[in-house]
Structure 1
């Protein structure tokens, strides 16, 4: 794990192997059937010490497609593919980048929840009928990215709890119930008032 002062990214084959053996492979110590589709996926892991934030919130993990997204024309794409191949020996289906500073301080449950959260973003594409897509030539799954959805949150919270996933405030708000009565909503909603008229 890296904790240097200058900005740094470092591939970690051991972390990739651990994540696969722990969460993806059948019989893993923390096997999650939700990740079964990733058995044929190539996943590269990177440690970084680069601080990242979005809208004032710290980003401690990120999953993305391994294939570069065409930045900078042909040279930019070729340069990115070259860098990724130098790191992993191939262009993987997915790259997961983790904040090494966060990982050095978080609990085991928080770390497992982080890795699984990122794995939930790594998905198998669906066809127009909602069935998993497969490459017609190879028969292998066609992979893509999945956004945040309720299934991901339920899966991670079910496995690691509210504390490790940092959603205690959300659970407390749900337990306390709504602070606004339905009658008050109806009184201030143009659609509701139109229906009542």
Structure 2
């Protein structure tokens, strides 16, 4: 059974609380060997330290509600900011995790099981492993994976579309357009786009 936010979070003023139950459930459901919905795309997270938070703080960007977020455990900050942030993380999780996942408690209380699974996996996809110049997974000297925030494949992670469908990932319109084929001509716009060309060089 998936975790639900405690009632105290829904009724309180602006608050963030640690949610170890989300991480335990996510590992048992998606990450660990033999997990009920195991996803090989998350295998590197078997070696990651993860923390999760419930919040009731409203978050919106570009007119859209944000209901989940994945961040590096300790982003680059000034000395005092870093120390203050580290103290808060240790207070929540007992350590500084590799990634912190934050979820909107009000959304999680009302969404379907499939929607919650898709949301959690979406954030897990952001918790990526860095790649070297040849595209191979990157590791630290300790042998631990080199972790980094992963961007979307297109407008969504392909794995979320594959596992939950285009509707769940809000890319149905893109899928339908692709099925119809090009209206004008079959071209590769990336060859004519300066931004895409710069990305190819990077």
Confirm or deny a common fold (TM above 0.5).
yes
Aligned length: 180
CA offset at residue 142 of structure 1? 1.3
Q: Indicate whether 1:181 and 2:188 are aligned.
A: no
**In 2, Cα distance between the equivalents of 1:147 and 1:69?**
19
Aligned pairs for 1:165-180 (under 5 A) are: 165-178=169-182, 180=183
Aligned pairs for 1:31-46 (under 5 A) are: 31-46=38-53
CA offset at residue 83 of structure 1? 0.2
Q: Indicate whether 1:93 and 2:118 are aligned.
A: no
**In 2, Cα distance between the equivalents of 1:122 and 1:60?**
16
Q: Deviations over 1:35-56 (max 9, x none)?
A: 0111100010111111111111
Is the partner of 1:76 in helix, strand or coil?
helix
User: Partner residue of 2:148?
Assistant: 144
CA offset at residue 169 of structure 1? 3.0
Kept after mapping to 2: 8 A contact 1:61/1:96: yes
CA offset at residue 59 of structure 1? 0.8
User: Partner residue of 1:51?
Assistant: 58
Q: Deviations over 1:84-104 (max 9, x none)?
A: 110000000000101111111
In the superposition, relative to structure 1, how do residues 90 and 58 fare at CA in structure 2: closer, same or farther (>3 Å)? same
Is the partner of 1:64 in helix, strand or coil?
strand
Gapped regions of structure 2 (runs ≥ 5) = 187-191, 193-202
Aligned pairs for 1:1-197 (under 5 A) are: 1=5, 2-70=9-77, 73-136=78-141, 138-150=142-154, 153-178=157-182, 180-182=183-185
CA offset at residue 177 of structure 1? 4.3
Is the partner of 2:41 in helix, strand or coil?
helix
In the superposition, relative to structure 1, how do residues 97 and 120 fare at CA in structure 2: closer, same or farther (>3 Å)? same
**In 2, Cα distance between the equivalents of 1:10 and 1:93?**
18
**In 1, Cα distance between the equivalents of 2:178 and 2:169?**
16
- Greater Cα radius of gyration, structure 1 or 2: 1
**In 2, Cα distance between the equivalents of 1:13 and 1:139?**
26
Length-normalised TM-score, structure 1:
0.84
Kept after mapping to 1: 8 A contact 2:52/2:100: yes
Deviates more, 1:167-176 or 1:107-116: 167-176
Is the partner of 2:33 in helix, strand or coil?
coil
User: Partner residue of 1:193?
Assistant: none
Gapped regions of structure 1 (runs ≥ 5) = 184-188, 190-197
User: Partner residue of 2:189?
Assistant: none
CA RMSD, Structure 1 to Structure 2 (Å):
2.0
User: Partner residue of 1:186?
Assistant: none
